[in-house]
Amino acid sequence: MAKVAHSLLERVKGQLLAELGQDVRDERVLAAVASVPREKFVPDELRAFAYENRPLPIGHGQTISQPLIVAMMTEALELKSDEKVLELGTGSGYQAAILAELAGQVITVERILPLAERAAAVLGELGYENVRVCVCGDVLGWPEEAPYDGIVVTAGAPQVPPALLEQLAPGGRLVVPVGARDVQELLLVTKGPLGLTTKRLGPCRFVPLVGPGAWSSADLGFAEG
Ligand code: SAH
């Protein structure tokens, strides 16, 4: 029974990879999606949907992002295997695992402790030794380990957070959804020799980034548990 379910998942995963391949050209990113078991990062009862190209709830009002968005954000970072990358919004830990396949070192930060704990446990079980899961401090990101060659924000911000630009290395890339609470535009900001350049990657929809320089929980008025 478990075996049948597994082969079904593998078949849907193949379809997902074919679908992603229409928009994502970087073979390294597609190989990372192929090797990370997304079913381990979703709640047990949603396992059957793990390879559908859509976000899924992971508890505490949060979601694991849509695979296409994860792949697009990762592709935009253009990570090299010796680079250090920061993720804001660990959530399930899935995006962190994809980053860990491509970068030398991954620091991922989460503000909801039980999500951080669960993600760290799954990443540990899967043997990712180059990922460190941190629980948010008083500033956005994780300045202790800065600068980063890449920063990816997997929650929507009202503006490009200045604190994250400060944590970006020269030549570094920041991928961040910016806009209103319910819909944002995905931006790629590059710190080049002549200053910052911004490229628009298209519309997207993320849960809010909460914290200093982003949304406050009072603004949002949402309950989390
Ligand atoms: N990348 C995740 C999806 C994240 S959903 C995955 O692959 O599953 C967005 C996450 O951002 C939520 O878990 C939310 O709690 C977290 N978050 C919101 N504001 C944050 C902040 N300021 N710092 C770190 N994490 C934050």
158 lies in a domain?
A: yes
Domain limits for position 166:
68-220
Closest CA to 153 of 80, 222, 224, 210: 210
Asked if residue 110 is part of any domain, the answer here is yes
Q: What is the CA radius of gyration of the chain?
A: 17
Q: Beta-carbon neighbour count of residue 196 at 10 Å?
A: 12
In a domain, 101, yes or no: yes
The answer to whether 139 touches 163, Cβ cutoff 8 Å, is: yes
Atom of ligand 1 nearest to the CA of 109: 24
Nearest to 69 by CA among 37, 28, 23, 108: 23
Residue 165 lies in a domain: yes
Tell me the CA–centroid distance for residue 10 and ligand 1, in Å. Answer: 27
Residue 175 lies in a domain: yes
Number of domains forming the structure of the chain: 1
Instruction: With beta carbons less than 8 A apart as the criterion, state whether 108 and 132 touch.
Output: yes
**DSSP, res 208:** B
> What secondary structure letter does DSSP report for 66?
P
Looking up tokens 């559908």 gives 52
pLDDT in tens, the chain (225 residues): 456 578 889 999 999 999 999 999 999 999 999 999 999 999 999 999 999 999 999 999 999 999 999 999 999 999 999 999 999 999 999 999 999 999 999 999 999 999 999 999 999 999 999 999 999 988 999 999 999 999 999 999 999 999 999 999 999 999 999 999 999 999 999 999 999 999 999 999 999 999 998 999 777 765 443
Calpha distance 121→79 (Å, rounded): 25
Report the percent of the chain where pLDDT is more than 70. Answer: 96
Q: Could you tell me if the CB of 111 is within 6 A of ligand 1?
A: yes
Residue 10: inside a domain: no
Q: Which of 69, 90, 108, 112 gets mutated to test ligand 1 (max ligand atoms within 8 A of its CB)?
A: 90
Rounded Cα distance, 153 and 1, in Å: 39
Q: Which residues have a catalytic role annotated?
A: 65
- Tell whether 45 is covered by a domain: no
- The best mutation among 111, 133, 140 to test binding of ligand 1, ranked by most ligand atoms within 8 Å of the C-beta, falls on 111
CATH for 123: 3.40.50.150
- Cα–Cα distance for residue pair 110/91, rounded to 1 Å: 7
Residue 225 maps to a domain = no
Q: What's the CA-to-centroid distance between 63 and ligand 1, angstroms?
A: 8
Q: Is the CB of 167 under 6 A from ligand 1?
A: no
